[in-house]
Amino acid sequence: MPRAQIIEVQYLRAFAVLLVLVGHINQAEMRVLDGDVLGSIGFFGFSGVDVFFVISGFIIHTLYRDHSGLDWRFFLNRLNRIYPMYWLVTLVGIGGYMLLGRQLSEMGGNTNWLTTITLFPTDQLPLLAIGWTLTHELYFYLVYGLFLALPLHWRPWALGGWLALSLFGLSRLGGDLPAVVELMISPFNLLFLSGIALAQFRPRFERWRLLSLALLVGGVVLGLYWTSSYGLAGLGNESIRVLVFMPFAVGLCWAALAFKPVLPQLFARIGDWSYVLYLGHPLVIIAFELRLVQVFDGWPLDNLVFYAGCIIASLAAAWLAHILAERPALALGKSLIARIGRGETTPSAANRS
């Protein structure tokens, strides 16, 4: 992947993870403090998850669209990207929760341990609740990796079939199907497919970049209106959520790729830390909820102090975790994969996707 595209993707990752961070801080603030800074519009921050899904589709298709044949290294590199840090942050969460005087049963009384360990889809959340999004990521990697085994001229038909399944899932506003089936037809798959489309037709999308701004602005208006009107409950249905957030997610990614903004270097660095920041920030927020909030509760501007403290602490923890754990874990995984076979020769950006 060209260096310019890597920077654009890092900016998008940084923006997406900061959106999710704000969404979770807003949710916690409503639980523990009187009043709130953003109110229901703060739940617009959860659109960052949808942005991440579009980014994933774009990156993977950019790197592998000309690749032919089923390649086990593709799957191993994707597993190396997801699982080591997920397991580590889950263990940190268990230890930290118990150190704060809670019992594991209290933290995960309704937790499915199969889902917690493997991220296999069930009707329950993993212990690290944000892991539900990783289940969708892994499903996307599985489907895309299998598509690589198809001849190039068959792949558009396969993608069209997946699109049809996802549109069918979007049309369902209710129902009770097995979790695996729900994953297969999930409307979230449309976000990955949108990212694939951006990668496949990027030159054309760049020529229509003014349209990306229209989609972005319209998506912001729609998302803010919906969340301010219906709050978190209004995002409970996957189909509605995708319809509300997809214009913003696609518009943001399209605009960033088309206009190639130049932002402060910090945004690129946050993009580097984005995965561990995404995994770890709920634990930082929980620590503020259970212990630190009582220190400044009642201060002037205590809500703003809560926001600032959570953001700064989350960024600092992510930076340290990226340097001390994530980079070494990725390097170790890559070396083990290289020992099994020839190793993967795609650009280093593939290992950040």
Confidence of residue 100 (pLDDT cuts 50, 70, 90): low
Q: Which two tokens stand for residue 62?
A: 């950019």
Share of the chain above pLDDT 70, in %: 89
Q: Compute the distance between CA of residue 70 and CA of residue 57 in angstroms, rounded to an integer.
A: 18
| Buried-state track 327-336, b at ≥16 Cβ within 10 A, e below 16 | eebbeebbee
User: Per mean pLDDT, which range of 78-87, 109-118, 125-134, 183-192 is the poorest?
Assistant: 109-118
3's enclosing H/E stretch is: helix 3-32
pLDDT digits (tens, 9 = 90+) for 304-351: 889 999 999 999 999 999 999 999 999 999 999 988 875 444 444 434
Give the pLDDT band of residue 117 (cuts 50, 70, 90): very high
How many Cβ atoms sit within 10 Å of the Cβ of residue 264? 9
Distance of CA 180 to the CA centre of its chain: 20
- Residue 86 Cα distances to 217, 253, 333, 335, angstroms: 34, 25, 14, 19
The pLDDT assigned to 110 comes to 63
Residues 239 and 187 sit within 8 Å (Cβ to Cβ): yes
The number of distinct structural domains making up the chain is 1
pTM (2 decimals)? Answer: 0.92
Task: Report the chain's mean pLDDT, rounded to a whole number.
Answer: 89
d(CA 83, CA 119): 9
Structural domain span for residue 294 = 3-352
Q: What is the pLDDT of residue 347?
A: 42
Q: What is residue 346's predicted lDDT score, i.e. its pLDDT?
A: 43
Q: What is the C-alpha separation between 247 and 51, in angstroms, rounded? A: 10
C-alpha pair distances (Å), 65 with each of 58, 79, 167, 293: 10, 19, 23, 48
Q: Are 288 and 15 in contact (CB under 8 A)?
A: no
Kind and range of the H or E run holding 242 = helix 238-259
